[in-house]
Amino acid sequence: MQVPRYPRDMIGYGANPPDAQWPGGAKLAVQIVLNYEEGGENCILHGDAASEAFLSEIVGSAQWPGQRHWNMESIYEYGSRAGFWRLHRLMKDLPITVYGVATALARSPDQVAAMKSAGWEIASHGLKWVEHKDMSEEEERTQIAEAIQLHTEVVGERPRGWYTGRCSENTVRLVAEEGGFDYVADAYADDLPYWLQIEGGQDQLIVPYTLDCNDMRFATPQGFNSGDQFLSYLKDSFDALYEEGEAGSPKMLSIGLHCRLIGRPGRVMALKRFLDYARGYSDVWFATRQQIAQHWARLHSPHKASRPSQMEKAAFMTAFGGIFEHSDWIAERAFELELGPAHDTAGGLHNALSRIFRSATQEERLGVLLAHPDLAGKLAQAKRLTLESTSEQASAGLDALTDEERANFTDLNQKYSKKFGFPFIIAVRDHDKASIMQAFLRRIEHDRGTEFAEACRQVERIAEFRLRDVLPS
């Protein structure tokens, strides 16, 4: 039976994201995307079954099966006819990325020429601006190939970045399998690029996109109603991320734009005011997504760390069977849990192992306590401790006791074991000899229930230290 595994990564970089090391020591990378979809949307002229109903001035519109929607078509046409050129005039001196729908680009040769003249990156936004969630893998794979071919014909070079947008659960894997992309943007999971391991072990760089710093919210319920709201949101996002960069953790601010939305006169001034604000900072890096991807790949290669959630059982037991002293049954049961990327860190796997320990019977937990050696006891003197216990006791100086200290420990070990029925257990890496002795004298006065609970906590703490030695924190 296949053990349960959870594929979603709920931890990412965790509490300590890497230093992006943006060029010039920039405290923030600003990445602007202009989505070019006009002419690639749902339309029966394009062979689709119905008209478009997404991201227009007609909020809440529905598709018209088998009919052209003249108003919808003309709204999209505004983006190519007027909105694009207004935005081109505003941003032609900035390094931005275009998400170009291949069929839309093919229907807009003058706009493509203007994008190239401005030096903009033209990434692929798929073959058509349609939903992919119900496509078969084969159909979507075919459309990816057709998008690349058409894009290459129209632009003059193949795309190196990809964003479907209205994607399926297979999109990122299929694009990665194609093998020719510096990055995929079909994710919203982080403020930094990250590597995603695809089935088969391939590493694909993800440069995540945004749906919040995005003018699409002018066309959705509970979105932006005025340019001032958009401006305020962009400035707050910029300020928050810039502050994190000043504190030593630079991030990336993604901004998503659409010709037919922000290209309207009543909205474009908000974008202009934001650009004036952001360009007022000398330590901000404006970049295309490809520039960011190339920077990340050069300085932050995929990290080939051990991944417990992907291990076969034998390898898992070899690596983690001894984390709880002489109690490999804990790792064996933990292997059967729903493990995922969140358990590939020291903290995550510690939680999984501790769940098993905490849910065990009283007798089983007592067995774990009994498996631990006395501090500076006979096993240590005979050099018969596990490697982990030997190292741990040595870290607190318990391998170099005076005769008097050894006699004191021996006496306390005997009294403690006689009173409680299990050895004195303490995470020695939290202590030195003096504080260990103080804890010994304090805890020997506990009742058995209190001390049993404390000993179990110490067992978990010891396991945490051991996991930190072999897994990232």
Beta strands (DSSP E) in 248-312 are 251-258, 284-286
Partners of 65 in the β-ladder: 50
What H or E segment, with its residue span, contains residue 89? Answer: helix 84-91
List active site positions.
372
- Alpha carbon separation from 360 to 321, 338, 450, 461 (Å, rounded): 16, 18, 18, 17
Q: Are 104 and 38 in contact (CB under 8 A)?
A: yes
Please give the chain's pLDDT, 473 residues, in tens: 678 999 999 999 988 899 999 999 999 999 999 999 999 887 888 988 888 877 777 777 888 888 898 888 889 899 999 999 999 999 999 999 999 999 999 999 999 999 999 999 999 999 998 889 999 999 999 999 999 999 999 999 999 999 999 899 999 999 999 999 999 999 999 999 999 988 777 899 999 999 999 999 998 887 899 999 999 999 999 999 999 999 999 999 999 999 999 999 999 999 999 999 999 999 999 999 999 999 999 999 988 777 999 999 999 999 999 999 999 999 999 999 999 999 999 999 999 999 999 999 999 999 999 999 877 554 444 344 466 655 666 655 566 667 777 788 788 889 999 999 999 999 988 988 888 889 999 999 999 999 999 999 999 999 999 999 989 77
Structure-token pair, residue 81: 């006819």
Polymer length of the chain: 473
